[in-house]
Structure 1
Amino acid sequence: MVVEDVFSLHQDRVVRATGRIERGRVRAADELEIVGSGDCSITRVTGIEACPPRSPLDEATAGMNAALLLPGTAGTVERGHVLAAPGSVAAHTAFVADIALLPEEQGGTELSTGDTLDFHIHAGAVRGTVTLPARLDALRPLHTAAVTVTLEHPVALENGRPFAFRHHGRAAGSGTVTRLLP
């Protein structure tokens, strides 16, 4: 599940993380790994609620919007993190992606190696640097390329993950992760 919102309950002893279950299922008492910036940690689900109307559930399955109650995770779970079965997803800071720039009238702008962009992956945003292929000096609006991206902090990633990016605060294009780098 990608964490879209985080609420602290009971004087910060329990966190209510909400989001959409992307695949599989989760039940109360299941262990989940918090994957995102920094160290990954394991937590146990103590309750599940439907979102909306906040009614209790025994389990949540793929496609459902749900809230998971996670004790002792205040300050650990943030928007954009991923809650997953332990070891099933890893956080990465570098990857290769196919990107496409928007037309100029929609915010597309020329990109060069070393440009810093805001990458919107899952429900979070992270800054990163783009490296164009050696044969390419600049990537112009409406063009595509396979680029290498280096993020400022780790993000849960898998091959095929779509993302959008902004340049100087304006929507600039989108892409898909094609290969994860160590």
Structure 2
Amino acid sequence: MGQSVVNAVEKPFLMSVEDVFHLQQGRLVMPAGRIERGRVRKGDEVEIVGRGSGVTARVVDIDASHVRIDEAGADMNVGVLLRGVAADAVERGHVLATPGSISAHVRFVADITLMSEDQGGADVVSGDRLRFYTRSAALWGTVTLHGVDVVRPLHGAEVTVTLEEQIALEADQPFAFRQRGRAAGSGTVRRLRR
């Protein structure tokens, strides 16, 4: 009688940085946020990805509500203590990740859908500068429409987005955007571009 074996492959670690604390006169940096997937352990090497970063650092300790723990997993809110990282190397909007598991980009193809006019949706045309929100990052970008001249409220389209700064991106990542200071719509990253 055969026995079924489940091959449990752990997903790479990914945490969105929501805040950064500087400890011991700046010798330690503690990015804090929610772990999106995978696990992180004391001693692990992590990569800081986004907005011109890309440095790696070793995890010195993990803080969960002022309690030091040896490891943390998905859906936990933690602080990850890093030593030897420049004070400005990590900021809100970055991610901490397993080295090489995610990269930073400025261009991507996405499907977007606009909200109704009552909710803040307004016509979008190629060249519009919108404010994009994904994970804990918020930054400006310009859209180029594919196959249509205008996207109207309650409609959708495929677009190319060119951001003004690099952020950690991957396929199927959701985002929201604002136009003229108002919530305007949402979308999903389909393909990353160089």
TM range (shorter): over 0.9
Instruction: Report the TM-score when normalising by structure 2.
Output: 0.90
* Higher alpha-carbon deviation: 71-80 or 91-100: 71-80
1:111 alignment partner, one of 101, 124, 143: 124
Q: Once the 2 structures are TM-superposed, how far is the Cα of residue 72 of structure 1 from its aligned partner?
A: 2.7
Q: CA separation in 2, counterparts of 1:72 and 1:37?
A: 19
Amino acid paired to 1:161? Q
Partner of 2:99: 86
Match of 1:72 among 70, 79, 84: 84
Q: Which one of 154, 169, 174 corresponds to residue 181 of structure 2?
A: 169
- Give % identity: 58
Quote the Cα distance in structure 1 between the aligned partners of 2:103 and 2:84: 22
Q: CA deviation at 1:122?
A: 1.1
TM-score w.r.t. length of structure 1: 0.96
Code of the residue aligned with 1:130 in structure 2: it is: V
Please give the alpha-carbon distance, in whole angstroms, between the structure 1 residues aligned to 2:121 and 2:25.
45
Structure possessing the higher radius of gyration over alpha carbons: 2
Q: CA deviation at 1:39?
A: 3.5
Which residue of structure 1 aligns with residue 56 of structure 2?
42
CA RMSD of aligned residues (A): 0.8
- Note the alpha carbon deviations across 1:52-94, whole angstroms, 9 max, x for none: x210101001111111011232111000101001100000110
**1:47 Cα deviation from its structure 2 partner:** 0.4
Partner of 2:75: 63
**1:136 and 2:153 correspond:** no
Which deviations, in whole Å up to 9, do the C-alpha atoms of 1:111-162 show, x marking residues without a partner?
Answer: 11000001001101011000001x3111111100111000011110010100
Q: Are 2:34 and 1:20 equivalent residues in the alignment?
A: yes
How many residue pairs are counted as aligned between the two chains?
179
Instruction: Give runs of ≥4 in structure 1 deviating > 4 Å.
Output: none
Give 5+ residue unaligned stretches, structure 1.
none
Other structure's SS at 2:118 match: helix
SS in 1 for 2:127: coil
Evaluate the alpha carbon distance shift between residue 39 and residue 3 of structure 1 in structure 2; reply closer, same or farther with a 3 A threshold.
closer
Is the Cα–Cα contact under 8 Å of residues 139 and 164 in structure 2 kept in the other structure? yes
